Amino acid sequence: MTLIRRNPLRHTVLSLAAFSLLLPTASSVLANPVNDVDVPARQSGFEPRTIQQQIQLAGDYLAGHGVPQDSKRAAFWYEKAAGAGDARAQLEIGYLYEAGIGVPRDPVRAFHWYQLAAAGGLAGAKVNLGIAYLFGDGVEKNE
């Protein structure tokens, strides 16, 4: 599996500016997921069948490994895997929404995916949530 590794400190600093709205209900956050977009798989017709294959394909598209670099397709496959409950994919799609890579920048959705990834035990997601609460970015400030 090839995932893009990010510097955790850089990722945390980027998340400080990402939260600007209060967290709505989960149903409104997911009302228009990137999964609704018609995004084809690899040009060879490969259709990933497992969550691990979806994450691999997303990483390939994000980095341009074996396929043309395409952040929109990367976001599609990360969100598909995230929706199936994979915490690593939830952290990745959260970052993509936070930074507006392949999807419109949406700090509310980013926060939602970080919450799920944090619930899955990922420390990076917990840090991003802590920073948001510390500075009141997207949620009520709570040191």
DSSP-derived 3-state class of residue 56: helix
pTM recorded for the entire structure: 0.68
Q: Cβ contacts of residue 20 below 8 Å, gap of 6+?
A: 107, 137, 138
The Cα 61–Cα 64 span in angstroms is 5
- The model's pLDDT over 93-135, given as tens digits with 9 standing for 90+, comes to 999 998 899 999 888 888 899 999 999 999 999 998 887 778 7
- The model's pLDDT over 49-88, given as tens digits with 9 standing for 90+, comes to 899 999 999 999 999 999 999 999 999 999 999 999 999 9
